[in-house]
Amino acid sequence: MKIAIVFGTRPEIIKLAPLYLKAKEMGIDTQFICTGQHREMVDMMKGIFGIDADYDMDVMVQNQTPNMVAAKVIFQFESYAKTQAFDYVLVQGDTTTAMATAIAAFNMGLKIGHVEAGLRSGSLRDPFPEEMNRRVIDQVSDLLFAPTERAVKQLISEGFEMERIRLTGNTVIDAQKYVMEHFDLAKIRTSIVDHEDYFLVTLHRRENIGNRMSNILRAMRRFAEREKIKIVFPVHKNPKVRNIVYDELGDCRFSELIEPVDYVTLTALLEGARFVATDSGGIQEEAPTFKKFVVVCRETTERPELIENGFGVLAGTSEDSVFENLCKALDTQMPDKPNPFGDGRASERILESLLSAVK
């Protein structure tokens, strides 16, 4: 069996690196293909897992649009795949890289596996364009690797055949397990933050840029100043995000605005935080491992298992709502439950499914 694993952004490499490592361990002929959609983030990540791309499309240019990325990925993936003989093409999640690769593979008659299938926010434009991307990928995929029972039920409710669906868990928990086994997180954390009274913040989503992000940051400032608790915030490289963040928090004595950190360092900061406030999808999945409450600063979430299991709250994006939920986060008792998103064996289950499918 020969498979292609395609990635282009930081979240993708976090969630696909464990799959690639497990495939190599199992002796599966695997090509790790990079689109370069987020060049700086991808380059930051490759060293952690000790792997590199077998082929790099290098599509990144400044101020590119989703359409520009999609067009380049479709063309370059097709050109490369013609020289190979892939039994399966694996994509992950909801990025433009994943959607464009899936479309290209589908048009070439190649079989597709969607890692993290079946997540839905219920709003086609929130998150944008990720919700659309994920739905399109599910439609053209031959195997749907659903991370949770809820995702399985969602796919069935939409009419997907049971024989296409596999319940696997989320590979991000595999990545967490790898990092916890290979790095001294406490030592890494204290090299960045020399105290324990802080909450971790990440914000970057396209649909939040503008008034929503300003509202969220004002709420965080009010909360930090009232409770005398630090904001530790690795600020995304997007200039639009950085401008808003520094306008709202640049002169706040309770904010520690730092440059983007790699996955290991972010995991270390998450492990030591009082709680986390974020619009990220990945952190919603990772925080329950460390029993950290998540204030989700979004209008929707495609990961409702977080809220249903008591690990977080959907705070919205208004200043008052975010502020109120930040206050609640300090006093919330975490449930005595395992992480609802996985047990660290998702990669193994995915690859076993592929081996069975190509027999």
Quote the tokens at residue 154: 């969602």
Diameter of the chain by CA atoms? 62
> Is 113 strand, coil or helix?
strand
Q: What positions carry a catalytic annotation?
A: 204
Q: What is the rounded distance in angstroms from the CA atom of residue 237 to the CA atom of residue 40?
A: 9
Residue 41 in any domain: the answer is yes
Confidence of residue 85 (pLDDT cuts 50, 70, 90): very high
Q: Are residues 290 and 245 in the same domain?
A: yes
Q: What is the rounded distance in angstroms from the CA atom of residue 198 to the CA atom of residue 192?
A: 12
Q: What pLDDT does residue 124 have?
A: 92
The dihedral over CA atoms of 246, 252, 256, 260, expressed in degrees to the nearest 10, equals -10
CB atoms closer than 10 angstroms to residue 307: 15
Residue type at 210?
G
Q: Angle formed by the axes of helices 239-249 and 211-227, to 10°?
A: 40
Kindly report the backbone phi and psi dihedral angles of residue 277, in degrees, each rounded to the nearest multiple of 5, phi listed first.
-120, 125
Is a pLDDT exceeding 80 seen at residue 50? yes
Q: Are residues 248 and 309 in the same domain?
A: yes
Mean pLDDT calculated for residue range 249-269:
96
Q: For residue 57, give every residue at least 6 positions away whose Cβ sits within 8 Å of its Cβ, in sequence order, or none.
A: 8, 33, 34, 35, 36, 72, 73, 76, 77, 80
Lowest-confidence range among 32-36, 97-101, 221-225, 323-327?
Answer: 32-36
Residue 114 domain boundaries: 2-169+344-357
Give the DSSP letter of residue 162. Answer: G
Residue 51 in any domain: the answer is yes
Residue 280 in any domain: the answer is yes
- Per the structure, the count of domains in the chain is 2
In this predicted model, what pLDDT tens digit does every residue of 103-114 receive, in sequence order? 999 999 999 999
Lowest-confidence range among 26-30, 86-90, 193-197, 275-279?
Answer: 193-197
Q: What pLDDT does residue 196 have?
A: 86
Q: Are residues 151 and 199 in the same domain?
A: no
Q: What pLDDT does residue 60 have?
A: 84
User: What is the chain's mean pLDDT, rounded?
Assistant: 95
Q: What pLDDT does residue 44 have?
A: 66
Confidence of residue 236 (pLDDT cuts 50, 70, 90): very high
Q: Are residues 323 and 287 in the same domain?
A: yes
CA atoms within 13 A on the CB side of 270: 27
Is a pLDDT exceeding 90 seen at residue 261? yes
Quote the tokens at residue 156: 């069935």
Q: Are residues 199 and 224 in the same domain?
A: yes
Lowest-confidence range among 41-50, 167-176, 335-344?
Answer: 41-50
Q: Are residues 327 and 349 in the same domain?
A: no
